[in-house]
Structure 1
Amino acid sequence: MKALLVDKYGKKEALRLVEMPRPDVQADEVLVQVHAASVNLLDAKIRNGEFKLLLPYRRPFILGHDVAGVVVQVGTQVTNFKIGDQVYARPDDMRIGTFAEFVAVKAQSLAIKPANVSMDEAASIPLVGLTAWQALVEMGQLQKGQMVFIQAGSGGVGTFAIQLAKHLGASVATTTSASNVAWVKSLGADVVIDYKTQDFEKMLSGYDLVLNSQDSETLSKSLRVLKPGGKVISISGPPDVEFAKAIRAPWLVQQIMRFLSFRIRKQARQRHVAYAFLFMKANGAQLQKLTQLIESGVIRPVLDKVFPLTATNDALRYVESGRAKGKVVIKVL
């Protein structure tokens, strides 16, 4: 099969297109023939080496965190999927590899693809959809009538999170460029701030929850728009010691994360708010809940560009540029 490998870490390191054997399928996995995979900023960060402390992949390895395709083989312990099923998933950490023609995925991380979307659209959903669900529902426990500030509303996570938050009954504020204001409002945003000309800290106050996806300066400012008892959940770091414990990181790694998050945790305590880091987890059951929302029309996937597998490096550069309006997808089949 064709696959794209990370040989060396680095921002300028290109993925290498190679021929290699299909992956082995363990008893609790299925083999998926990849029709489409999407590109996430996480892929670029892993290629750059930013997560090698948390995710010590043995190089060379195949990159890619989203897949939509068809089941072509099932493990001996798998009973809930069969050959021919159209599925989608965010494979588990240490079992990624969707920038390829085939990928093995744990059955518990898999879900049947929504019937009303294409393979390209389905591939755009798992990582951002699960990130939004785990941030807003699982960790944030967002309730009807609450106010949430979702940064970068025109990005992959932002477009999905806005729609989910509105479904939950929340009032949503977001940031984007002036050209995208009407568009993100059409997704459900109530307050839209032009990040180039306006300062969200001066315009927002009394918020219950912030979904942070930007830099450390933006994260610090985000604390100041929360009401006492509010919470900021960051998907861009810094990782905290609670996260380190959850992934059973070694003691030394836990202390490093304690140090990295010390400043923001101290700022949060001083303002009587909470800080948490989210590194989303593969979860087929949650993905099935998102399937229901998509099939009912509550949430629609948002695609920007579709690249062929051979242009995956171009797709990564486009995602890193920050210009994507929604998701970027790799068409494999």
Structure 2
Amino acid sequence: MLSIVQKSFGGPEVLEVVETAIPEPLQTEVLVRVRAASVNPVEGYIRSGAFPMLGEPPFTLGWDVSGVVEAVGRGTARFKVGDEVYGMPFFPRPGNTYAQYVTAPSRMLAHKPASLDHVHAAALPVVGLSAWQGLVDYAGVRPGDRVLIHAAGGGVGHVAVQIAKALGAYVIATASAGKRDFVRSLGADEVIDYRMTDFAEAVRDVDVVYDVVGEDNGERSFAVLRLGGAFVTAVDHGNAELRAKGEAAGLRFIGLAVEPDHTALEALTRLVDEGRLRPYVSRTFELRDVAKAHQVVEEGGLTGKVVLTVD
């Protein structure tokens, strides 16, 4: 099979198309013929060495996957050959989804939403699980809660807006002016152009803030939260100083590191097939053009996700 391997840290050019052996599923695993795999910003940081989460190369990047079950290992009856599945296997260990085939434990996958093609299904697991786990499992968003979502036009953000609305929340979103109409179309009740308006002065009495921006955005977000409100961060989860400041201010600090979770995937599938959630794909590239895909993601300013199609 063809897979993408990098043998050193560096720019997108280190991503090589190579021929490797098709993996065999172990007990409780399935072999998936990959139809699509998406590119997430974290993968660029890992590739460059800025965030060496996988250790030293060589390795294959990728966690989002959507495809068809080709073989089933002993000890699992969740799927059969021919089933369409999607998921986020093994994170934060190598998921190896930049490839034509991948193996994964059956409980790290779920049946693909019937209303999505593989391209859009592959766009959902990492961002969908990040949003679901932060808003539902940890923050416990309830109907009527006021939720502020930063970078609402991006990968995690555009899904988080839709999940928060599905939970019955009043959603305030920050986004650039060019993404205002898009974010409104997702269901946001208010959209703040962060380049023109300081959200810390414009917003008050928020129950939950979801942040994927980092830097000083976290501490500035504390000012908009009510006492006892939850600050969810997917980028500063290891920031002990920020945690201490938040807790000293009487807030709940939730540092989120996304986990594989078939139960949450199944919940996302229900929202999708009920018409309440739709991942947005801005660009697609063939697997062989993964370096170009990484370049586009690193340029920033994207709406939604970038997806690799796999023949």
> How does the TM-score come out when normalised to structure 2?
0.96
Which letter does structure 2 place at the counterpart of 1:324? L
Partners in 2 of 1:309 and 1:269 — Cα distance? Answer: 44
Question: How far does residue 58 in structure 1 lie from its aligned partner after superposition?
Answer: 5.4
Question: How far does residue 61 in structure 1 lie from its aligned partner after superposition?
Answer: 1.0
Which letter does structure 1 place at the counterpart of 2:291? N
Who is 2:249 aligned against? 271
Who is 1:29 aligned against? 29
For the Cα contact (< 8 Å) 1:109–1:285, is it kept in 2?
Answer: no
Who is 2:64 aligned against? 66
Partners in 1 of 2:6 and 2:141 — Cα distance? Answer: 38
Question: How far does residue 50 in structure 1 lie from its aligned partner after superposition?
Answer: 3.9
Partners in 2 of 1:46 and 1:123 — Cα distance? Answer: 20
Partners in 1 of 2:108 and 2:212 — Cα distance? Answer: 24
Deviates more, 1:38-47 or 1:153-162: 38-47
Who is 1:9 aligned against? 9
Question: How far does residue 279 in structure 1 lie from its aligned partner after superposition?
Answer: 1.0
Which letter does structure 2 place at the counterpart of 1:276? I
- Deviations 1:228-285 (CA, angstroms, capped at 9, x unpaired): 101111111241xxxxxxxxxxxxxxxxxxxxx2321222133211212111001112
Aligned-partner SS, 1:300: coil
Who is 1:80 aligned against? 78
Partners in 1 of 2:25 and 2:13 — Cα distance? Answer: 29
Percent same amino acid among aligned pairs? 37
Gaps of 5+ in 1: 240-260
Map residues 37-48 of structure 1 onto 2, 5 A cutoff: 37-48=37-48
For the Cα contact (< 8 Å) 1:131–1:280, is it kept in 2?
Answer: yes
Partners in 2 of 1:237 and 1:313 — Cα distance? Answer: 27
Aligned-partner SS, 2:107: helix
Partners in 2 of 1:289 and 1:45 — Cα distance? Answer: 29
For the Cα contact (< 8 Å) 1:208–1:226, is it kept in 2?
Answer: yes
Deviates more, 1:106-115 or 1:173-182: 173-182
Taking only aligned residues, the RMSD between alpha carbons, in angstroms, comes to 1.4
Who is 2:193 aligned against? 194
Map residues 122-201 of structure 1 onto 2, 5 A cutoff: 122-201=121-200
Who is 2:106 aligned against? 107
Which letter does structure 2 place at the counterpart of 1:193? I
Question: How far does residue 95 in structure 1 lie from its aligned partner after superposition?
Answer: 4.0
Question: How far does residue 57 in structure 1 lie from its aligned partner after superposition?
Answer: 4.1
Aligned-partner SS, 1:61: coil
Gaps of 5+ in 2: none
Question: How far does residue 215 in structure 1 lie from its aligned partner after superposition?
Answer: 2.3
For the Cα contact (< 8 Å) 2:61–2:94, is it kept in 1?
Answer: no
Partners in 1 of 2:62 and 2:182 — Cα distance? Answer: 28
The count of residues paired between Structure 1 and Structure 2 equals: 310
For the Cα contact (< 8 Å) 1:43–1:65, is it kept in 2?
Answer: no
Partners in 1 of 2:226 and 2:6 — Cα distance? Answer: 43
Which letter does structure 2 place at the counterpart of 1:198? T
Aligned-partner SS, 1:77: coil
Question: How far does residue 224 in structure 1 lie from its aligned partner after superposition?
Answer: 1.3
Partners in 2 of 1:224 and 1:262 — Cα distance? Answer: 18
Aligned-partner SS, 2:95: coil
Partners in 1 of 2:186 and 2:304 — Cα distance? Answer: 11
Partners in 2 of 1:173 and 1:122 — Cα distance? Answer: 26
Q: 1:226 aligned to 2:225?
A: yes
For the Cα contact (< 8 Å) 1:95–1:105, is it kept in 2?
Answer: no
**Alignment counterpart, residue 305 of structure 2, candidates 327, 330, 333:** 327
Question: How far does residue 12 in structure 1 lie from its aligned partner after superposition?
Answer: 5.9
Aligned-partner SS, 1:299: coil
For the Cα contact (< 8 Å) 2:12–2:292, is it kept in 1?
Answer: no
Partners in 2 of 1:183 and 1:174 — Cα distance? Answer: 11
For the Cα contact (< 8 Å) 1:88–1:112, is it kept in 2?
Answer: yes
> How does the TM-score come out when normalised to structure 1?
0.90
Question: How far does residue 74 in structure 1 lie from its aligned partner after superposition?
Answer: 0.8
